[in-house]
Amino acid sequence: MSGKLVPATPDEDELWRLAVRTLDGNWEHDHTAPSRTLYPHQWSWDSAFIAIGWAHVHPDRAWTELTSLFDAQWRDGRVPHIVFNPAVPVDAYFPGPGFWASAAVDGAPRVATSGLVQPPVHALAAWHAYRRAPSESGRAALGRLYPRLVAQQRYLATHRDVGGAGLASIVHPWESGLDNSPAWDAPLAAVPAEVAALGAYRRRDLAHAAAAHRPTDLDYARYVAIVTAYRTAGYRDDGLADEHPFLVECPLFNAAMGAAEHALAGIAGEIGADPGPHTERAARITTALVNRLYDPTTGTFHPRDLRTGRLTPARTVLGLTPLLLPDLPARQVEAIRVEAVSSRFGLATRMPRPLPSHDRTAADFEPLRYWRGPSWMNINWLVRHGLLGHGHTELAAGLRASMIELATTAGCHEYFHPETGVGLGSPAFGWTAALLLDVLATPDR
Ligand code: 9WN
């Protein structure tokens, strides 16, 4: 599907052009910066979402975006969450390349990267991008990416299965992509850290965004302490269970990992490989996710803290994301629907605003602070995708309309006030623009 097929109203037409301009403005020779100011390098899951948008207007850029990211894949298969652009000054983002020190690690690529990962939405994105713009060169790019996507999954399913139950653990809130979510409050509170330790560094985010919207200094001190522990261990995963201060099984991360196997089955079929092993692995991940992270008493999914063995109590939007799995059992699909349409999230066939990132009725709901309330386009896109996959077309249509209406008034911001719809964070944000293109180009069925 390409740009010219968009059945646009004048408003949608203008929005389409704004989104393309935003992506163009952030394009940087072989990748797209999430934001020129706040995030001037390449981010892993951002690139996946952004590739879906490029597929509508510039399919070659979609493949370049994913390929440049996977060029930085480590020998063990991990796809780093940040690939540093050497042309950007080293102090433009904290923590920068010197802090991560990837060059000192055997098996890291030549380009400087972080040592963490992000939710593995890349196979899903590659499969989407291909189906949006099928072509011979697209199939060839898909064929080259396939073994790298498989290696990414293998890394997560082996090195990161710290709990031994078939799910991957995240070792830092940054790996969740929802860095400051209330879901991490309990495991993060157990990480020993002192704000004073931050004195050695300068937070660059506060030069571009209001402190009241961003994580606190104590959160940052803990983020730094967790990376320091992992870096000191050479980013090796074999000692995680004994030593590492933050170990959590996240519902979104694992739903993405399962959805990736479904996407890889589709890709395998397209390029003449065997889809069978992917379908089998997908089924195992779905079973493990339901067994480990679904709580029948709350009727939603929660992260599991491996340090305590307990599910974390917050009911965040993470709980809705297993809908991404096409083979999620009907009981859990229905439980997620009930949770989503409750006053906590407000999903409806006509809804004033997209889903918030946290339960609107919770005492710790904060409409302005990063991932603790604001609405984000990528999460709404994922949930829409899941609703469509499970036949909830009218709810998906309500969500789509609310996403378009929000961006029509507020533009391509990084995130949005979940009640007023005011745009927050970076005003020219990559995945917002990219996913708007996709939503505009895929009208309700
Ligand atoms: C840390 C780039 C990234 C997103 C994350 C988002 C934010 C970074 C930060 O920006 O995280 O990785 O500095 O806060 O939380 O989801 O990938 O857009």
What pLDDT, in 10s, does the model give residues 256-313? 999 999 999 999 999 999 999 999 999 999 999 999 999 999 999 999 999 999 999 9
Residue of 39, 213, 369 with the most ligand 1 atoms within 8 Å of its CB, for mutation: 39
Nearest CA to ligand 1 atom 10: 39
pLDDT at residue 69 is higher than 60: yes
Mean pLDDT value of segment 63-69: 98
pLDDT at site 194: 86
Of 156, 95, 96, 164, nearest to 122 by C-alpha is 156
Atom of ligand 1 nearest to the CA of 116: 12
Tokens encoding 441: 């180009």
pLDDT band at 2 (very low <50, low <70, confident <90, very high): very low
**Per-residue pLDDT at 222 exceeds 60:** yes
> Dihedral through CA 144, CA 380, CA 175, CA 244, nearest 10?
-140
Ranking 78-82, 128-132, 191-195, 357-361 by mean pLDDT, the lowest is 191-195
Evaluate: CB of 46 within 6 angstroms of ligand 1.
yes
Give 36: exposed, middle or buried? Use CB within 10 Å, 0-12, 13-18, 19+.
Answer: middle
Establish whether residue 53 lines the binding site of ligand 1, counting it when its CB lies within 6 angstroms of any ligand atom.
no
Which backbone phi and psi does 170 adopt, to 5 degrees?
A: -95, 150
How much is the average pLDDT of 414-421?
97
Mean pLDDT of the region 185-212: 88
How far does residue 39's CA lie from ligand 1's centre (Å)?
7
Q: How far is the CA of 177 from the centre of ligand 1 (A)?
A: 6
**Nearest-angstrom CA–CA distance, 77 and 94:** 25
End-to-end CA distance of the chain: 15
pLDDT surpasses 60 at 50: yes
Enter the tokens of residue 175. Answer: 């790996």
Structure tokens at 387: 């609703």
Is pLDDT above 90 for 58?
A: yes
The residues, any chain, with a CB within 8 Å of residue 159's CB and separated by 6 or more, are 76, 77, 78, 237, 238
CA distances from 19 to 137, 168, 379 (A): 25, 34, 18
Averaged over 314-326, what is the pLDDT?
98
Q: Which of 26, 31, 43 to mutate to test the pocket of ligand 1 (most atoms within 8 A of CB)?
A: 43
pLDDT one-digit tens code per residue, 96-120: 999 999 999 999 999 999 999 999 9
Q: Which atom of ligand 1 is nearest to the CA of 431?
A: 18
Q: What is the mean pLDDT of the chain?
A: 96
- Give the pLDDT confidence score for residue 6 in this predicted structure: 55
| C-alpha–C-alpha distance, residues 122 and 153, integer Å | 10
Ligand 1 touching residue 294 (CB < 6 A): no
Instruction: Give 381's contacts (C-beta < 8 A, 6+ positions apart).
Output: 49, 403, 435, 438, 439
Residue type, 93: Y
Which residue puts its alpha carbon closest to atom 1 of ligand 1? 174
Average pLDDT estimate for 240-249 = 96
Which residue has a Cα nearest atom 6 of ligand 1?
177
Contact 191, 173 (CB under 8 A): no
Q: Which atom of ligand 1 is nearest to the CA of 370?
A: 15
> In this model, does residue 8 exceed pLDDT 80?
no
Give me the active site residues, please.
179, 414
pLDDT in the model for residue 1: 38
Q: Which of 146-150, 201-205, 243-247, 362-366 has the lowest mean pLDDT?
A: 201-205
Q: Is the pLDDT of residue 4 over 50?
A: no
Which of 38, 174, 224 has the most ligand 1 atoms within 8 A of CB, as the residue to mutate?
A: 174
Index of the ligand 1 atom closest to the CA of residue 174: 12
Cβ atoms of 361 and 343 closer than 8 Å? yes
Percent of the chain with pLDDT over 90: 91
Q: Which two tokens stand for residue 367?
A: 């409409």
Q: What percent of the chain has pLDDT over 70?
A: 98
| pTM for this prediction | 0.97
